[in-house]
Amino acid sequence: MTRAAAEDPRAARTRARLREALLAECAERPLEEVGVAALVRRAGVGRATFYVHYDGLEALAVDACADVVRDAVEALHAWRGRPDPVHAPPALGEFFTSLTPHSALYRALLTPGGGGPLGRVLHRDLRAYSLRERELAGAADAPLVASAVAATFAGVLADWLHGLLDPSATEIADQVWQLLVALHASR
19 with 63: CB under 8 angstroms?
yes
Phi/psi region, residue 114 (left: phi>0; alpha: psi -120 to 50; beta: rest), is: left
Within 10 angstroms of residue 55's Cβ, the number of other Cβ atoms is 9
- Residue-wise pLDDT tens for the chain (187 aa)? 444 445 689 999 999 999 999 999 998 999 999 999 999 999 999 999 999 999 999 999 999 888 888 888 888 877 666 778 899 988 899 999 999 888 999 999 999 999 999 999 999 999 999 999 889 988 889 999 999 999 999 999 999 999 999 999 999 999 999 999 888 876 5
Q: How many residues does the chain have?
A: 187
How far apart are the C-alpha atoms of 123 and 115, rounded to whole Å?
9
How far apart are the C-alpha atoms of 177 and 89, rounded to whole Å?
8
Please report the beta strands in the chain, taking only residues with DSSP state E, as ranges in sequence order.
none
51 with 39: CB under 8 angstroms?
no
* Helix, strand or coil, per DSSP, at residue 107: helix
How far apart are the C-alpha atoms of 172 and 156, rounded to whole Å?
8
